[in-house]
Amino acid sequence: EPGMSDNDATLVSGKAEIAFTTTKNGASNHNLDFGFKSSLGCPLVATCSSTNTTCNGGADGEVSVTTVGAVGAVDYLWSTASTNAAVNGLAAGTYTVTVTDSQGCSDMCSVTIGQPTAVSASCSGTNVTINGGNNGSVSVTANGGTPGYTYLWNNGNTNATQSGLAASTYTVTVVDANACTGTCSITISQPLPLSGSVVITDI
């Protein structure tokens, strides 16, 4: 293309031509050159993809980039400073990569790593009605994370609700389908022991 650096051609009726005079028949001049520039622009296209973190606040997310139209070797530069096509061990957030091929063509794409909501556990209970009794109960309600919850209480019980309990403090760990956890505690109380006195009155 005329006007490009180190280009000796000029356009004549839409064609690149170089006019030069030789000193004698059969002579050549190797200092003259011209090149072609595609009217299609840079064909390199980068496409980003991501994998969300397993747990809220986790750092096991992944991002990667694929390219089409690249020529020769491809260089990658992520906003994390990584130079790989794929990057793992990432927290939730938005990540950007610039891809450049051997011809200097480049493209950029961004992708966001998401995360599930945090696992939450809410405990409730019923107090013992008689001092020293065992008619208390506790229960837990789980939310967030990835449903498919399991439960583990500090007394070994694995149900969401348990009864027949003595006065004490009960703690439960809720585990979701991705092994993310949440906890809560509840204290079951009991009334004070009965007390009395005998008064003797003489006749």
Check residue 200 and give its pLDDT: 82
Q: How far apart are CA 67 and CA 48, in angstroms?
A: 9
Please enumerate, as own/partner, the contacts of 50-54 that have beta carbons within 8 Å and a separation of 24 or more.
Answer: 50/95, 50/111, 50/112, 50/113, 50/114, 51/113, 52/92, 52/113, 52/114, 52/115, 52/116, 53/90, 53/91, 53/92, 53/113, 53/114, 53/115, 53/116, 54/116, 54/178, 54/179, 54/180
Question: What letters, b where the CB count within 10 A reaches 16 and e where it falls short, cover 90-105?
Answer: bebbebebebbbeeeb
Check residue 5 and give its pLDDT: 47
- pLDDT tens for the chain, 203 residues long, are 333 445 676 766 556 677 777 777 767 777 777 665 544 578 999 999 999 999 999 999 999 999 999 999 999 999 999 999 999 999 999 999 999 999 999 999 999 999 999 999 999 999 999 999 999 999 999 999 999 999 999 999 999 999 999 999 999 999 999 999 999 999 999 999 877 677 888 87
DSSP state of 71: -
